[in-house]
Structure 1
Amino acid sequence: MTYATLPASRLWTELTTVEAAALPPETVALLPVSAVEQHGPHMPLGTDAYINRGILARMLELLPSDVPVLILPEQTVGTSQEHLDFAGSLSQTPTRLMQIWTELLACLANTPVRRLLIFNSHGGQSGLLAPVTLDLRVKHGFFAAYASWFDGGYPEGLFTDEEITHGMHAGAIETSLMLHLRPDLVRMPFSDNFASRSIALDTVVSQFSANPGGGRMGGFGWKAQDLQPSGATGDASIATAEKGRLLLDHLATKLATLIADIGKVAPVYGDGR
């Protein structure tokens, strides 16, 4: 499918106002949202932002040039209240963050764009995505979608089931991605197997989990140090750049497919036109 009036750039900030006013209504405006927070002793505060940028960059390489998507300015600081006891972590309150995302995306009503996607790379704010997109649908008529990279699954055999379930923060998964994307920012001598207390918890209770789902009904409000004194969870010592490369390609492919899928779903469920 070919669309008219596609700008040369994929970045919203590089458009002129004339180009923004002439965008095809089928354009998907993607808002990257991430976080600035501690990632243990071996990873940078901006890990979630670097991972988000890396997935988007690879996705744009894979996406056909005639699929209309534009990347909005990254919202780097998220809500990271569970990490605030660790130096360097920054946070908005959840209600304020939802307001920021909503008000920013509502501005697109002054363009022809009616298809939005919030792309998230921080688990602590994934629960905010659905109400924001629904609000944008109800109040402005947008087709508003959301996605988080960690919902895209993992290549078979790349990480153990335990690491996928309990290595939620700066373990083998995120460390591997960063070893591929920004090895200069990873302090591997300080990496370790940061075993999460959630592993032991899952052996003594049947319905509570730090990461509920998969048959476990109950979650609870935890701070990072409740799960691991270091603030990290997972076996960062087994991370490799090659695992990161394979995972990045997997996730970028999933995201490119999702963006193409919006073109099929939005006309059915409404995109403000």
Structure 2
Amino acid sequence: MRRYWTDLTTRDAAALPPDTVAILPVAAVEQHGPHLPVGTDAFINRGMIVRFLELLPDNVPAVVLPEQTVGASAEHLDFAGSLAFSPARLIDNWTDIIACAARAGVRRFLIFNSHGGQSGFLAHAALDLRVRLGLFVAYAAWFDAGYPEGMFTPEEIAYGMHGGAIETSLMLHLRPDLVRQDEIADFQPVTREIEATARQFSANPGNGRLGGFGWKAQDLQRSGVTGNAAAATAENGRILLDHVATRLVELVSDLGKADEFVTRYTAG
């Protein structure tokens, strides 16, 4: 079957198998410091989808909806090149696209996200579509797939959440032509300082820390980057891409086989 929604004819769309999973990639366009392009989140999402489709078995019915490149990036708007929707408008965009796709008879969807700043909107969009239209909508952010053992230090996983070793490794593999290697550095955020003096307060709460706060990118690091980009390698990017794409295949396969649950879920 054709794997991209835009490649389908209207007859193809109407004839999609009932267990088809339609995937909506959602990304962002925002500064990633002096060394990475503003399209980093979009390039990463796109690369993961391409690798996912290469690994996906032919007998798993899945189709990729048009990528939503611009996301919610208000925390980066003080840096030139960043683009953003308001959260409400962004969620409306996602749910409108999925609602249109459902008119072809598709009932299973996956919102696949590559920008941490909008992860909190995924559950809201999925629930809205469940309540209003009775659709089964799953969601995933690629960084929740975890990392291969020993690839990145615990400190980098905890604090390197934007433009550090992880995203830079992926970009060195996917689009090395767009990486300014002479600008790569160790961009250490103030998050460590905060957590060294505060017991329940963090820029990234969780794991036992109760409180967070609304921050702009420059509040954490003047460059807008958080993490040790100097530790990045293209080989780590290649391995990480396969790691995430493999888990995405497993997730989509799970959704395609959950017939009894999806039927019960969408019936009421």
- Unaligned 5+ segments in structure 2 are none
Q: 1:167 aligns with which of 142, 160, 163?
A: 160
Shift of 1:271: 5.3
Q: 2:103: which partner in 1? A: 110
Is 1:208 the counterpart of 2:201 in the alignment?
yes
Q: 1:268: which partner in 2? A: 261
CA contact (8 A) 2:136 2:265 kept: yes
Q: How does 1:142-221 map to 2 (within 5 A)?
A: 142-221=135-214
Looking at structure 2, the residues matched to 84 and 265 of structure 1 have their Cα atoms a distance apart, in angstroms, of: 41
Q: 2:124: which partner in 1? A: 131
SS at match of 1:210: coil
Shift of 1:46: 0.2
CA contact (8 A) 2:27 2:113 kept: yes
Looking at structure 2, the residues matched to 157 and 265 of structure 1 have their Cα atoms a distance apart, in angstroms, of: 33
Identity of aligned residues (%): 64
SS at match of 2:22: strand
CA contact (8 A) 1:115 1:266 kept: no
SS at match of 1:272: helix
CA contact (8 A) 1:114 1:271 kept: no
Looking at structure 2, the residues matched to 266 and 232 of structure 1 have their Cα atoms a distance apart, in angstroms, of: 43
SS at match of 2:266: coil
- Unaligned 5+ segments in structure 1 are 1-6
Shift of 1:267: 2.8
Ranges of 4+ aligned residues in structure 1 off by more than 3 Å: 269-273
> Cα deviation per residue 1:164-199 (whole Å; 9 max; x = unaligned)?
010000000000000000000000110110001001
SS at match of 1:237: helix
Q: 2:217: which partner in 1? A: 224
Q: Partner letter of residue 190 of structure 1?
A: E
Looking at structure 1, the residues matched to 260 and 86 of structure 2 have their Cα atoms a distance apart, in angstroms, of: 34
Looking at structure 1, the residues matched to 44 and 108 of structure 2 have their Cα atoms a distance apart, in angstroms, of: 24
Looking at structure 2, the residues matched to 176 and 64 of structure 1 have their Cα atoms a distance apart, in angstroms, of: 27
Is 1:65 the counterpart of 2:46 in the alignment?
no
> Cα deviation per residue 1:205-255 (whole Å; 9 max; x = unaligned)?
111111111111111110000000000010001110001011111000111
Q: 2:25: which partner in 1? A: 32
SS at match of 1:209: coil
Residue range with higher mean Cα deviation, 129-138 or 257-266: 257-266
Q: 1:4: which partner in 2? A: none
- RMSD after superposition: 1.0
